[in-house]
Structure 1
Amino acid sequence: MKAALSLLAATALAGCATTAATANPQDAFFDALAARCGQAYAGQLASDQDADADMRGKAMVMHIRHCTADRIEIPFHIEGLAADGGWDRSRTWIVSRTAAGLRLKHDHRHADGTHDEVTLYGGDTADSGSATRQSFPVDAESIAMFERTGRGVSTTNIWSIETTEAGFTYGLDRKGRHFRVAFDYAKPVAPPPAPWGW
């Protein structure tokens, strides 16, 4: 009887370990984004601060453009912000797997395809997050870049990405700054042209 109970307990624990191993929220989050690879969605500014006045009312599109087992590239297009009044295609969010979790980097380019002075900044997850939301505190490399380029206000940035059945939200938070753009998965659109330089 005692042996049977021990075996039952061991089996139950093994089952829990297997469930925990396969229910990694970062894997679920990454897989949820990758499942929409190739799709593009309409969105809009979802925050309301003076710093975002140039984006207010502008059409926006996010495109889950390219995916591998370890990397997802998501260009972010904004109508009317380019120097010629057309679409600004300068921004690409890059979510990648690391040995410790997930990483978010921002690839910024000019219309001629060259990299902006401030590019490939971001951070790594500090915890497991959830299957629908991951946060990325600024990393040391980005802090050094921000300080070098006179953007010290950005050295406490925390970025976030949410993906639910309803849609996708990108956010930036720091003291006094709260930025959000939201995209509706019920509003797919034709994929836009490639972002600048890609």
Structure 2
Amino acid sequence: MKSMPTLQASGLAALCLFAMPVSATQAESQPKLTQPQQSFFAQIASHCGQAFAGKVVSDDSADSAFSGKALIMHVRECSDTELKIPFHVGDDHSRTWVITKTSQGLRLKHDHRHQDGSEDAVTMYGGDTASAGTDQRQSFPIDKASIDNFIKNGLTQSVTNVWHVAITPTTFSYQLTRENRNFKVDFDLTQPVALPPTPWGHD
């Protein structure tokens, strides 16, 4: 009878040891953000449910397609780990920026859809942060999967893309840079506007 507690204790110890690797694995998969990245994410999330008008502030001739059109960004869906921000260009509701927390930092992807909701051939491209960044600006160099997708679709000029997202109390900025290319649009956070239509392919 005296040996029973010892066996029970031994069994419990074995169960604890067995569970430890699972807990460690789960911990490793949890988002691990630097303080600036946490603050950056939280600042964008603080505008959840609001939409803002923007304008192109770069002077690249390749951006003429955006000229004269209403540019609206909408912080539409927010969770503890992901933000979905549709970018409306006039009557084109095909673009949604997706910012996600990962085990390495932050990830930016571009969700492109057709009007019927189906995915564009070039979609979910982007990259991950490669540094801590700041609480007002994060950069996302293109990842390998996106490079492969661009090459597959003949967009070889885009394989060195770097995307930049910045936020201050008054302005949200989205910027794309590569050699001979600089696109930037600024949105006025001080003046919310009417909510735009549902982006294509989203409920």
With the length of structure 2 as denominator, give the TM-score of the two structures.
0.82
Q: Is the 8 A contact 2:110 2:123 kept in 1?
A: yes
The partner residue of 1:70 within 64, 81, 86 is 81
Task: Name the aligned partner's letter for residue 70 of structure 1.
Answer: T
RMSD: 1.4
Matched, 1:183 2:183: no
Spell out structure 1 runs of 4+ moving beyond 4 A: none
Q: Is the 8 A contact 1:44 1:57 kept in 2?
A: no
Matched, 1:132 2:136: yes
The partner residue of 2:95 within 85, 91, 94 is 91
Q: Is the 8 A contact 2:33 2:101 kept in 1?
A: no
Distance 2:128 2:96 in 1: 17
- Which residue does the alignment assign to 1:60? 71
Which SS does the other structure have where 1:76 is aligned? strand
Unaligned runs of 5+ in 1: 1-20, 80-86
- Which residue does the alignment assign to 1:26? 37
Which SS does the other structure have where 2:184 is aligned? strand
Unaligned runs of 5+ in 2: 1-31
Q: Is the 8 A contact 1:93 1:106 kept in 2?
A: yes
Which SS does the other structure have where 2:151 is aligned? helix
Task: Name the aligned partner's letter for residue 45 of structure 1.
Answer: V
Distance 1:161 1:26 in 2: 12
The partner residue of 2:176 within 162, 169, 172 is 172
**What percentage of residue pairs aligned between the two structures are identical?**
50
Distance 1:76 1:22 in 2: 25
Distance 2:195 2:68 in 1: 21
Q: Is the 8 A contact 1:45 1:57 kept in 2?
A: no
- Which residue does the alignment assign to 1:116? 120
Distance 2:68 2:185 in 1: 11
Q: Is the 8 A contact 1:161 1:171 kept in 2?
A: yes
Distance 1:57 1:96 in 2: 31
Q: Count residues with an aligned counterpart.
A: 171
Q: Is the 8 A contact 2:55 2:186 kept in 1?
A: yes
- Which residue does the alignment assign to 2:19? none
Task: Name the aligned partner's letter for residue 178 of structure 2.
Answer: R
The partner residue of 2:107 within 103, 110, 113 is 103
Deviation at 1:57, TM superposition (A): 2.5
Task: Name the aligned partner's letter for residue 37 of structure 2.
Answer: Q
What do residues 100-145 of structure 1 show as CA deviations (whole Å, max 9, x unaligned)? Answer: 1000000000111111000000000000000000000000000000
Larger-gyration structure (1/2): 2
Task: Name the aligned partner's letter for residue 80 of structure 2.
Answer: A
Paired residues for 1:12-23 under 5 Å = none
Deviation at 1:157, TM superposition (A): 0.3
